[in-house]
Amino acid sequence: MALWDVEVVNRYEDRLLDCSTGELRLLGLKVIEQTLAVFGRPLEELFDPSTVSLVSESLRAFQARLALGTDSPDVWGRLFAEGYDWQDGKSPFTAASLVQGFVQYAGFLTEDVNKGEIMEVLSSCYESVLSFAAIGRTITVEQERENPYVSGAVELQVTLIQEVCGLD
């Protein structure tokens, strides 16, 4: 069991189903945006240019979708395909989890909403930070708590769930 399971899944998974679709869409966007800050360095240091472009352009599209109600799935399809083409020496596992979260979130915005799918977005964001932290393959909840990146990502998600959805 991971720290994320203890602090997010066990506490909030069922209760998030009571939140509105609008709240969950906002939650997903905020988690994605703020997960990027958890890395503590510019994206250009972590990812190749195509992944940086994917992140930047997708965030703009997601923000526009929420603000204006506009869809741009054609743009996202192109961006997501290009986002998997990273260079050696960058963070492929971090990028893979992060891109997966973006793909899941885009689907959450454009398809019939299954509210439970927001957990997949949050999970992918958590997994990207866990990969970035590189604390090992077999880790304990306590090791995750002690890692500032991992514990910061979990605390971030809990705080955003409480703020956006009004859950404690």
pLDDT of residue 134: 87
pLDDT digits (tens, 9 = 90+) for 120-147: 999 999 999 998 888 877 889 999 999 9
Q: Quick check: 124 and 157 in contact, CB under 8 A?
A: no
pTM reported for the whole predicted model: 0.84
User: Which token pair is 101?
Assistant: 């979260």
Cα–Cα nearest to 39, from 121, 138, 125, 124: 125
Split into its structural domains, the chain has a count of 1
- For residue 74, what are the domain limits? 3-165
